[in-house]
Amino acid sequence: MIRELERESQERLQKAYEALRLTDPEGYTGTAEREYQKELARNLQKEGSKAANASTDQRIAGKLKVAGYSLDEIQKVIEQYSPMAVKPSQDQSQAYAKTVIQRAYFPGGTDLAKQSGERRLEQLGIDTKVSIKQSLLQRTKDEEFKFIFSAPDYSLCEYHGRIIHLPKDVAVEDDDSPISIFVVSQATYQDTQESLQPSDAANLELYLTDQALKDGIDIILE
């Protein structure tokens, strides 16, 4: 069950990236689903995988309301497309989405969509801005890790001139699709056999998650 939930959460993140990457269809002026996914992806580009949290959902909910979407639309979209709304039961998913709406900040004032008929966050100027500098910084962070060897039960990667030994395993889903399990909690520096520094472990988790999302593959971090 836990692995199935993690897989669905990652699939929702991947779909968000895809929504932002694809060009808007001709004549498109906005849907709650697509605008939520694109704005989530912008936050992920800016802050990395840590941006997948309830606070981000609350901010996006506020922007969608300003763009002219109803609270019912927003709540339904969060329930169905937020990676944080992936829960063991539908009731729990609905409760999460309802809580997001209750805690979101909805600024007063004019509905921007009524002025132009436009409901795309970017066109309304309320999308999250991701600068070229931030994009390059994220790319530089990704390039700090370099996998140099992979065996069935571990991988070796180079990071800032040191070799990291990363234990791993493979699980097989019901549909026979493999999922790589990276045991970051047991990763060590090969030269000293010491556990990773917390900051290095966190960066490694971020790198693995981002790579999995970009490549469209399923992984589990432990």
Q: Tell me the pLDDT tens digit for each residue of 74-115.
A: 999 999 999 999 999 999 999 999 999 999 887 665 566 666
The 3-class secondary structure across the chain, one letter per residue, is CHHHHHHHHHHHHHHHHHHHHCCCCCCCCCCHHHHHHHHHHHHHHHHCHHHCCHHHHHHHHHHHHHCCCCHHHHHHHHHHHCHHHCCCCHHHHHHHHHHHHHHCCCCCCCCHHHHHCCCCHHHHCCCCCCCHHHHHHHHHHHHCEEEEEECCCEEEEEECCEEEEEEEEEEECCCCCEEEEECHHHCEECCCCCECCHHHHHHHHHHHHHHHHHHCCCEEEC
For residues 148 and 215, state if they share a domain: yes
Question: What Å distances lie between residue 51 and 107, 127, 169, CA to CA?
Answer: 22, 15, 27
As a whole number, the mean pLDDT across the chain is 83
pLDDT at 13 over 90: no
- Residues 6 or more apart whose CB falls under 8 angstroms from that of 88 comprise 1, 5
| Share above pLDDT 90 across residues of the chain, in percent, rounded to a whole number | 33
Which of 130, 154, 178 lies at the terminal end of a domain, its last residue? 130
Which of 112, 130, 148 lies at the terminal end of a domain, its last residue? 130
The structure tokens listed for 52 are 């997948």
For residues 10 and 105, state if they share a domain: yes
Long-range contacts of 36-39 (CB under 8 A, 24+ apart): 36/60, 36/64, 36/74, 36/77, 36/78, 36/81, 36/82, 37/81, 38/121, 38/122, 38/127, 39/63, 39/64, 39/121, 39/127, 39/128
Q: For residue 124, what are the domain limits? A: 2-130
For residues 162 and 71, state if they share a domain: no
For residues 51 and 115, state if they share a domain: yes
pLDDT tens-digit map of 135-168: 544 544 545 788 877 778 888 888 887 889 999 8
Strand pairing category for 219-221 and 178-182: parallel
Mean pLDDT, range 7-26, rounded to an integer: 85
For residues 56 and 158, state if they share a domain: no
For residues 56 and 121, state if they share a domain: yes
Which of 25-29, 96-100, 149-153, 173-177 has the largest mean confidence? 96-100
Which of 108, 130, 152 lies at the terminal end of a domain, its last residue? 130
pLDDT at 71: 94
pLDDT at 212 over 90: no
For residues 35 and 82, state if they share a domain: yes
Residue 195, strand partner residues = 188
pLDDT tens-digit map of 52-77: 899 999 999 999 998 999 999 999 99
Strand pairing category for 188-189 and 162-172: antiparallel
| Share above pLDDT 70 across residues of the chain, in percent, rounded to a whole number | 84
For residues 115 and 147, state if they share a domain: no
For residues 125 and 151, state if they share a domain: no
pLDDT at 202 over 70: yes
Counting the structural domains of the chain, the total is: 2
pLDDT at 10: 79
For residues 174 and 193, state if they share a domain: yes
pTM above the 0.85 mark?
no
Specify burial of residue 136 (Cβ count, 10 A radius: 0-12, 13-18, 19+).
exposed
30 — pLDDT class (breaks 50, 70, 90)? very high
Mean pLDDT, range 179-184, rounded to an integer: 86
20 — pLDDT class (breaks 50, 70, 90)? confident
pLDDT at 155: 86
pLDDT at 140: 45
For residues 14 and 74, state if they share a domain: yes
For residues 103 and 142, state if they share a domain: no
